[in-house]
Amino acid sequence: MNVTMLMKRSVRRFDLKNLSIVVRAFWDDEAQVWVATTSDIDGLSVEAETMELLRIKVLDALSDLIELNGETSNLPEIPVHIVAEQTSRIPNPAF
């Protein structure tokens, strides 16, 4: 692998001008908590009992992780999209 290929592989999404971080949140029924992760920033794994608490924890953790990971962005504020998923079931009236 040549130097140009290594440089291209080491460029992170944060080097882009129009960046947003997408965080996936899902309900862990067994643990009774929301769990949030992202592939955009290394190290994010957060749990909370409510979505509002999760949002606060995610934003705090991302701020820390951006600094700790040495990420850079030329945006004054970085948009964070928290996409939540929860599967529910209803009784089937035919049964």
Domain residue ranges in the chain: 27-87
**Residue 38: what pLDDT?**
96
Give me the mean pLDDT over the 13-34 stretch: 82
Give the range with max mean pLDDT: 3-7, 9-13, 14-18, 79-83. 79-83
CATH class entry, domain 27-87: alpha beta
pTM attached to this predicted model: 0.75
**Residue 2: what pLDDT?**
42
Model confidence at 4, in pLDDT bands (50, 70, 90)? very low
SS (HEC) of the chain = CCHHHHHHHHCCHHHCCCCCEEEEEEEECCCCEEEEECCCCCCCEEEECCHHHHHHHHHHHHHHHHHHCCCCCCCCCCCEEEEEECCCCCCCCCC
**Residue 18: what pLDDT?**
54
Euclidean distance between CA atoms 95 and 84, whole angstroms: 30
Q: Is pLDDT above 60 for 14?
A: no
